[in-house]
Structure 1
């Protein structure tokens, strides 16, 4: 197996795992409130990633470069956007279906190039003019099939907006840091902010026994492990190939929602979902050019541990 093929398979696996989380979070939401669910998930993820980070640092050659002082500052910025994204998504899943939330959330990929068009004051690419109405039409068909527009749909749209902001912010600051330390900083920040959120809401409870299996899956597999697989996979896969694979996340979410919790998609929903996927792919084509406002990777930041 070539490194490129292995990278493609890893990213496909990552996308499948991401798709499965919608059904898992929806079911887990019946046992934990959103703040506690996110707090426990990211605490488990940080604990799972800690030995990997320690082992990587032990094996890495001694670097003359001191650790960057802005690691935790940037981690706080990205972690805050992540809390907003995961929080709105978790709240959305309390009142809307998992497959519907997945397609609504996928709108974030379309929003990124739209935001950059306004930020850079440049002409909107033709592909984006096509992608936007397709995405709106697709979401309309999804809503039409699922009945009236519910509060969860609004929260899912909010998730798309906050996750688009996360993507843009991450692209600005990620080149400054090695992958594993920066990922660990983000996990810690999200966990701390989520615990603070839970305390403000009225306190923290110990999850019931039925919640620990899903929490371990979300923390270890869907957060810590996927981060490592994505880091390894994208070393040999182009950004264009990766974006096409990631566009399939709502499709895998629909599949797992059917297999795990029995959610079904009718003809209108399937057509709407297909339009969202097409819009996502088109928006990536529109965003193919480099972003002049984003920094180039600095020498030495392409390693995992710094």
Structure 2
């Protein structure tokens, strides 16, 4: 089960990483709230037939996946956190470089175990070592110029903090309710919330949305509908720190996607960052040693 969850989270990171091209192109015609709002609504709609099919296949009985109250509460909390985090990140990208944004966003790797400590989550020394290795890898991967803190960096850092909160919220609700339904609710919540600042601060036209139909569908159906759902299902019974480490591979994959799709070169420095990131993931997944009469501990 643990390997299956890790594979789901890796697939999530792969989709998010390859969606970097779609998000960049989509922002040519839409503002950050418009793009996030439309793609979130597309993601929610894309999950409706999936929920219907899964209900028919699994034939769940009432109450099997938790109460409706818990489902709605989880969807609302996840949707609010997702709206806030993605909005801050998208706004910040407009004022900073992609390298800085990638590194600052990756701070959720450290923020997740730090915040988790206040919630009673235990984190082993190997995970902390993996966190350090992952940060070093992200530094080599993303930072290519002198680092300075600007307005965009602050927005992205706030987004990173909110993404850490989003991961911990999922960690709490995922084992208690239906992950696919909760994912669907969170997208409608995030999409509807994005409509208000979009109407107030941006000029969104039908023509702009139509020009961005390709990026919107990719980001909505795959990056939102598929990837975030895999994140919720994959995080079930998974330590949130390990989950955040696997999800951080998004940075490595985005560089590789740019190299393969856009013809961008992968430098030795960026290659070293990818190696450190993959090493961190492997270290975090290694099981703890077993003592006498003790069950193997999970990370």
TM-score in terms of structure 1 length: 0.74
- In structure 1, distance between residues paired with 2:218 and 2:155: 24
- In structure 1, distance between residues paired with 2:181 and 2:47: 10
- In structure 2, distance between residues paired with 1:153 and 1:252: 22
Equivalent pair of 1:86/1:159 in contact (CA under 8 Å): yes
Match for residue 186 of structure 1? 186
Residue 146 to residue 256, structure 1, CA distance change in 2 (3 Å): farther
- In structure 1, distance between residues paired with 2:119 and 2:239: 25
Match for residue 172 of structure 1? 172
State whether structure 2 residue 207 is matched by structure 1 residue 209.
Answer: no
- In structure 1, distance between residues paired with 2:118 and 2:272: 30
- Report the alpha carbon displacement of residue 273 of structure 1 after superposing the two structures with TM: 5.6
Residue 154 to residue 221, structure 1, CA distance change in 2 (3 Å): same
Residue 270 to residue 69, structure 1, CA distance change in 2 (3 Å): same
Residue 36 to residue 45, structure 1, CA distance change in 2 (3 Å): same
Match for residue 114 of structure 1? 114
- In structure 1, distance between residues paired with 2:234 and 2:53: 20
- Report the alpha carbon displacement of residue 266 of structure 1 after superposing the two structures with TM: 3.9
Secondary structure, in 3 states, of the residue corresponding to 2:68? coil
- In structure 1, distance between residues paired with 2:239 and 2:188: 29
Equivalent pair of 2:180/2:233 in contact (CA under 8 Å): no
1:35-59 Cα shifts (integer Å, max 9, x gaps): 0001110111111111222233344
1:182-240 Cα shifts (integer Å, max 9, x gaps): 111111111111112212325643234321111001111222133455677789x9999
- In structure 1, distance between residues paired with 2:50 and 2:195: 24
Residue 57 to residue 138, structure 1, CA distance change in 2 (3 Å): closer
Equivalent pair of 2:174/2:232 in contact (CA under 8 Å): no
Equivalent pair of 1:82/1:166 in contact (CA under 8 Å): yes
- In structure 2, distance between residues paired with 1:191 and 1:278: 36
1:87-106 Cα shifts (integer Å, max 9, x gaps): 12222333445465344323
Equivalent pair of 1:113/1:286 in contact (CA under 8 Å): no
Match for residue 42 of structure 1? 40
- In structure 2, distance between residues paired with 1:204 and 1:113: 39
- In structure 1, distance between residues paired with 2:127 and 2:6: 26
- In structure 1, distance between residues paired with 2:152 and 2:275: 21
Residue 87 to residue 14, structure 1, CA distance change in 2 (3 Å): same
Match for residue 50 of structure 2? 52
Unaligned runs of 5+ in 2: 289-295
Equivalent pair of 2:105/2:157 in contact (CA under 8 Å): yes
State whether structure 2 residue 161 is matched by structure 1 residue 154.
Answer: no
Cα root mean square deviation, aligned = 4.1
TM-score in terms of structure 2 length: 0.75
Match for residue 63 of structure 1? 61
Unaligned runs of 5+ in 1: 292-306
Secondary structure, in 3 states, of the residue corresponding to 1:145? coil
- In structure 2, distance between residues paired with 1:54 and 1:154: 41
The 10-residue stretch of structure 1 (93-102 or 206-215) with the greater mean CA deviation from structure 2: 93-102
1:60-115 Cα shifts (integer Å, max 9, x gaps): 43624395223223211111111122112222333445465344323313321122
The 10-residue stretch of structure 1 (76-85 or 60-69) with the greater mean CA deviation from structure 2: 60-69
